Amino acid sequence: MHLFRKDTPHFGPSRGHASAGRADAAPFGRSEAGGPEVSAFALDNGLDVVVVPDHRAPVVTHMVWYRNGSADDPLGQSGIAHFLEHLMFKGTERHPIGAFSKAVSGLGGQENAFTSYDYTAYFQRVARDHLKTMMEFEADRMTGLVLDDAVVAPERDVVLEERRMRVETDPSAQLSEAMAASLFVHHPYGTPIIGWMHEIEELNRTHALDYYKRFYTPENAILVVAGDVTPDDVRRMADETYGRVTPQGTRPVRLRAREPEPKALRRLAVADPKVEQPTLQRLYLTPSCITARDGECHALELLAEVMGGGSTSYLYRKLVMELGVAVNAGAWYMGSAIDDTRFSVYAVPAEGVSLEKLEEEVDRILRRVPSEALTPEAIERAKTRLVAETVYSSDSQSSLARIYGSALAIGESIEEVRRWPADIEGVTQARLAAVAERYLVPARSVTGYLTKAREADAA
């Protein structure tokens, strides 16, 4: 999918490869959703560049996306992609620790970074006149990172504390981790982005530098600039900054295990005294926008919207408004992934309703999706909402940069992003029914219960 939505997992810090020779900037025209005219080209060293014009204010969003994420962490080094993201703020040979961040704040700008399963990204938002300064800093830390144990060990402690705060003290996060590990029995999507605690504890300077040298190269990166710029301006500045970075010659190969076809439904539960509201969660293994057959990705995206996209959706209407067994219910699909991904259904029980009773009703309603939920009116409403989200995202400079950056980082093309609204509009009722019957089946599922435990039981 092409919207950077809340269900796209990523962690941030606490605060298409072109052939040799530079390609001409290729304008792709306006999208069917009325977006800007996007241009793309590549530098001689292989860096892909995307320019998204937005002339409403003299501001630019400058993003660098690397084609590596937590699913590319070496075996036994879970969390190294995220750990390195933290360490990228620790200075280079040219700029000491904090110089980059101080420059951004001194210019009145904003910055951040995040790691997901399939990519790592760094971005700044500054006035247009300071774009080249951002490029100089970012190009420098593409190859100039300097690390010593005096900064590595304390930053590892920061990541360990981040995991304690986000996961070890949060039963809902613990359930999510356990469900992912059960859904992906062989693929690294089953390993948390932040890493397992015992493996984070062992990460060191050598691990970080080896990973850095492998993935942080111009031919493995995508520069996205959205804002008050022209393609010619961006090309000139990129040539003068990123163009000086020496390439390795070939893009690093991503080595990942393939998830086997699931054969058995799985169930698990987390009980904790801190749970305030019991929850039923269900994950299904489904194709992503990269692994799907023709049209299945768009059908799964639309199916999630029909089934669980807000208070007019099928699940909410049935479970909350008609049966009264839930106070909330919905569904989502994480289509933006390189490998097979997850489709989720969830429900929160009403007072006095057990999770077992709620699950019984959810299963009964899910069996009726092909025959009951997929009415022409419901499908049209869902299409309108999804396309409207794309239009609204096009109104945000940073959202546009993220949409194009995340798509290219997983191997999609600008044309596929541009065509997405039309592809959603083209999904038929028959295709929706087909993907529901093919993928929303028990053998492809993991069901999780989040329940409140007494202190004695937890002990």
Question: What is the per-residue pLDDT across 432-452, written as a single tens digit (0 to 9) for each?
Answer: 999 999 999 999 999 999 999
Q: Is the pLDDT of residue 392 over 60?
A: yes
Phi, psi values for residue 345, rounded to 5°: -125, 135
Q: Is the pLDDT of residue 315 over 50?
A: yes
Q: Is the pLDDT of residue 7 over 50?
A: no
Query: 109: buried, middle or exposed (CB in 10 Å: 19+, 13-18, 0-12)?
Result: buried
Please give the pLDDT value at position 71.
Answer: 98
Question: What is the per-residue pLDDT across 370-390, written as a single tens digit (0 to 9) for each?
Answer: 999 999 999 999 999 999 988
Per-residue pLDDT band for 36 (boundaries 50, 70, 90) equals confident
In 3D space, the residue among 83, 77, 101, 79 whose CA is nearest the CA of residue 91 turns out to be 101
- Rounded to an integer, the average pLDDT of 198-205 is 98
Percentage of the chain lying above the pLDDT 90 cut: 87
Question: What is the per-residue pLDDT across 93-152, written as a single tens digit (0 to 9) for each?
Answer: 999 999 999 999 999 999 999 999 999 999 999 999 999 999 999 999 999 999 999 999
Question: What is the per-residue pLDDT across 78-109, written as a single tens digit (0 to 9) for each?
Answer: 999 999 999 999 999 999 999 999 999 999 99
Q: Reduce the DSSP state of residue 280 to 3 states and report it.
A: strand
Contact 233, 51 (CB under 8 A): no
Please give the pLDDT value at position 19.
Answer: 29
Contact 355, 268 (CB under 8 A): no
Q: What angle do CA 351, 353, 354 make, to 5 degrees?
A: 130
Q: Is the pLDDT of residue 24 over 70?
A: no
Per-residue pLDDT band for 28 (boundaries 50, 70, 90) equals very low
Window from 18-27, 31-40, 354-363 with minimum mean pLDDT:
18-27
Per-residue pLDDT band for 391 (boundaries 50, 70, 90) equals confident
Residue among 32, 37, 85, 240 flagged as catalytic: 85
In 3D space, the residue among 185, 440, 420, 410 whose CA is nearest the CA of residue 304 turns out to be 440
Please give the pLDDT value at position 12.
Answer: 64
Is 85 part of the annotated catalytic residue set? Answer: yes
Strand partners, 66: 120, 221
Please give the pLDDT value at position 455.
Answer: 57
Question: What is the per-residue pLDDT across 164-181, written as a single tens digit (0 to 9) for each?
Answer: 999 999 999 999 999 999
Please give the pLDDT value at position 11.
Answer: 66
Encoded tokens for 99 = 């110089």
In 3D space, the residue among 315, 336, 386 whose CA is nearest the CA of residue 118 turns out to be 336
Question: What is the per-residue pLDDT across 355-364, written as a single tens digit (0 to 9) for each?
Answer: 999 999 999 9
Q: Is the pLDDT of residue 6 over 80?
A: no
Please give the pLDDT value at position 32.
Answer: 43
Please give the pLDDT value at position 8.
Answer: 55
Please give the pLDDT value at position 396.
Answer: 87
Nearest-angstrom CA–CA distance, 296 and 292: 6
